[in-house]
Every structure is written in structure tokens, then in C-alpha cells.
Amino acid sequence: MVFHETYMKTAIELAKKGEGYVSPNPLVGAVIVKDDIIIGSGYHTKYGGLHAEREALKNCRTSPKGASMYVTLEPCSHYGKQPPCALAIIESGIDTVYIGSSDPNPEVNGKGIQVLRDANIKVVTGLLKEECDSLNTFFFHYIATNRPYVTLKFAMTIDGKIASHSGKSQWITGESARAQVHRDRKRYQAIMVGVGTVFQDNPVLNCRTKENPVSPIRIICDTKLRTPMNSKIVQTSKEIPTYLATCCTDKSKHSPYEMYGCSILVTKQQNGHIDLNDLMQQLGKIGIDSLFVEGGGTLNWSLLQENLVNHIQCYIGNKVLGGQSAKTAILGTGFDTPNDSPAFKLSNIMCFDEDILLEYDIIT
């Protein structure tokens, strides 16, 4: 009896080990099986490194001739940073390939499957497709739009406040919810906030997970370049790549930040702030496929208004703050009626001690 799904699940778990290291490439895992024994396995470990199929072939303990490969994403058929995986599979003598997701990258898009079939390799597609597809939500969005996938994340109290009337927000949720935020940061290529959050909270926005912490790139939306030079963000920008997105074109104002290690991204202006559409285009061009927005309600509103949000993570902590002037998660002018709100689909609910995480996908 052959456990096709079990082998693909193993490949999926392997693929996840690449989280935080491969962007803007996809997460991919592969397992090679002969006589019902896994003889080799591998995953895409880092951007520019060997693809999962070649890793699995390299790790084979015995000859893969006549074996089956289980791979979460269609093997590539073009020369990129690595030679085509379909070629390596053909040369290895593997006779069956089970594939989870097809690769929408125009350079692959069915060609990988065709190349294998032309070489008389049996190809079975769509094995655990949904699970394999969900590995690469960011990659699929990025390939289709050339812009990052955007998640808004905020923590609010039972009465819907993200900060007190005096601006204090640390901490609305407990330790285990905050540990989840750090695990999530690792999955995204960049974290973004507005300069208002830097003024009020002076955050570091790094990734403090126990397992192999990799901090995402940090992006601060700062129209007039007001980020304090002594902020933790600026002071740690030699250790963690940091972009200040601004409309300020005065080079003499850029250079002190640059000396600390920040990079400056000049964008067009819209409604007196940086133009977020222009910013998304520029971020896409520099290879940023995913953004975790942890800003305040001002930036959150602008992103929603511009239809730039794909997903929302709303934490509800077991506290109340009250106060008419205490901020909520979405500020700006607001929508006129509930019908004007974007449509959301509830995609996940989790509990962390007394706190709740609600996740929503925006329906386009």
C-alpha cells in the first residue's frame, strides 16, 4: 500500500522549514520514495540556493532510478539562479512525479509538467493541492501582481481600542499571543509601520523567536522624514535592513539616516502622505513579496482605502481601555455605512490563553 498523501505531507512540512529564508521564491519541499521507503528528501533552504528537487536528489541514500518523487510545487523548466529541476529529475531516472501545486510563474506554468511527460515520466498533479497552495499564498500573489501580499495586524481591547487615551498600547495581549506575533513576523519579508507608531512606541520590530530568528526588513512610512535619529529603529538599522519611505527629496536630510544604515525610498505624494500604491510598486521591484503591517489606525485606514490589504489579523486582548480619544484600529475619515466596508471572509480563529486571534481574507 502506497501512502501518497503521507509522503506529500512530509514534503509540505519540509517546505515550511524554508519560511523566512527563501522570499521572493516559493516554499518547496520534496521527498523521493522507492519500495515504500523514503530514500531522499530536501527543501528550498534559502533564496538563490538549490531547489527542493535537487536537494532531495543530492540527499538520496540509494539510486533514485525507478523511484517516485513527491514535490509540493511543479518543478521548474527554465534556467534561473539554478538550472531546471525537470532536467535533474529526468537525468535521475525517477519514473513518477506527484505534484501538489502548479507554478503560475509564466516561465514555468505547465511547462515543467510537459517536459517531464515528454520524457515519459508519469506525472500526477493536484495531490493535496489546497495544502500545497496555502504554503505559497505570498508567492502566488507576488507573481500575479508584482506587489507584496499585505496583512494588517493589530491588537485591540474588548472595547476595540488599540491604545489608551494617552497613546499607550503595551501590552494589550498576553505573552503567548505576542509569541505568536513573533512567529508570524518570521513568515513575512518585511514589517511596516507609520512614523506615528515610531514616535509613540519606539519599537524595534525584530523577530524574537527561539528557533533561528531572522528579522524581516523594516519599512517606516514617514512623509517628511521625522523619524527620530535616536529611535531604536534608526539605531539598529545596521543590524536589520531598514527603509524609510518618504516624499522628502532633500539629500542632506537623507544622509544622516543613511550613515546609520537606513535606506531611503522616495515616493510620489498623495493626500499629503506618501503614495502607498507607488510604494507597493517600488517594494515589488526590490523583491519584497509580503508585508506585515503593524502600524496604527492612520496607516491602516490609508491601506484599506487604497484596496491594498489582503488579510487582517485582529487580536482581542482581555482588557478594556475606554476613552473617547483612545485610538481604534482603523482611523481616517472612515466609511459612511457598513455596506461601504470591504467584504471579509473569516479564515481562522485561535485562542492564546485569554486572548483571541481572528483572521480574515479580503474578498476581492
Ligand X SMILES: NC(=O)c1ccc[n+]([C@@H]2O[C@H](COP(=O)([O-])OP(=O)(O)OC[C@H]3O[C@@H](n4cnc5c(N)ncnc54)[C@H](OP(=O)(O)O)[C@@H]3O)[C@@H](O)[C@H]2O)c1
Any contact of residue 330 with ligand X (CB under 6 A)? no
CB 147 within 8 A of CB 285: no
Any contact of residue 302 with ligand X (CB under 6 A)? yes
CB 263 within 8 A of CB 244: yes
- Known catalytic residue at 359: no
Question: Nearer Cβ to ligand X, position 54 or 178?
Answer: 178
| Site size toward ligand X, by CB under 6 A | 30
Q: Which of residues 99-158 bind ligand X (CB under 6 A)?
A: 154-155
C-alpha cell at 101: 501545486
C-beta atoms surrounding 237 within 10 Å: 22
Q: For ligand X, which residue of 297, 304, 328, 355 counts as binding (CB under 6 A)?
A: 297
Distance CA 242, CA 192 (A): 10
**What are the distances in angstroms from CA 204 to CA 33, 122, 159, 183?**
45, 51, 27, 15
Does the annotation flag 174 for ligand binding?
no
Q: Minimum CB separation from ligand X for residue 276, in Å? A: 5
Q: Which of residues 251-280 bind ligand X (CB under 6 A)?
A: 273-274, 276
* Window contacting ligand X (CB under 6 A); options: 12-20, 44-52, 229-237, 294-302: 294-302
C-alpha cell at 297: 489606525
Q: Minimum CB separation from ligand X for residue 300, in Å? A: 6
Burial 214-228 (b: 16+ CB within 10 A, else e): ebbbbbbbbbebebe
Any contact of residue 192 with ligand X (CB under 6 A)? no
Q: Minimum CB separation from ligand X for residue 275, in Å? A: 7
Q: Minimum CB separation from ligand X for residue 152, in Å? A: 10
Question: Nearer Cβ to ligand X, position 83 or 228?
Answer: 228
C-alpha cell at 310: 489582503
Does the annotation flag 323 for ligand binding?
no
The owner of cell 476581492 is 364
Q: For ligand X, which residue of 136, 189, 197, 237 counts as binding (CB under 6 A)?
A: 197
Distance CA 246, CA 210 (A): 34
CB 23 within 8 A of CB 189: yes
Any contact of residue 193 with ligand X (CB under 6 A)? yes
Torsion of CA 171, 338, 273, 261, to 10 degrees: 40
* Window contacting ligand X (CB under 6 A); options: 36-44, 89-97, 194-202, 350-358: 194-202
Out of 5, 13, 19, 53, pick the active-site residue: 53
* Window contacting ligand X (CB under 6 A); options: 88-96, 193-201, 204-212, 228-236: 193-201
In 3D, which of 98, 76, 96, 97 has the Cα closest to residue 87? 76
Which H/E stretch holds residue 202? Answer: none
Q: For ligand X, which residue of 103, 222, 289, 355 counts as binding (CB under 6 A)?
A: 222
Any contact of residue 292 with ligand X (CB under 6 A)? no
Decide: residue 96, CB within 10 A, 0-12 exposed, 13-18 middle, 19+ buried. Answer: middle
Does the annotation flag 40 for ligand binding?
no
Torsion of CA 127, 128, 130, 133, to 10 degrees: -70
CA angle 266, 269, 273 (to 5 degrees): 100
Does the annotation flag 301 for ligand binding?
yes
Any contact of residue 224 with ligand X (CB under 6 A)? yes
Which sequence positions are flagged as catalytic?
Answer: 53
Q: Which residues contact ligand X (rule: CB under 6 A)?
A: 154-155, 162-163, 167, 169, 172, 193-197, 200-201, 221-224, 273-274, 276, 294-299, 302, 327, 331
- Binding site, residues? 51, 76, 85, 155, 169, 171, 185, 197, 201, 205, 208, 223, 294, 296-302
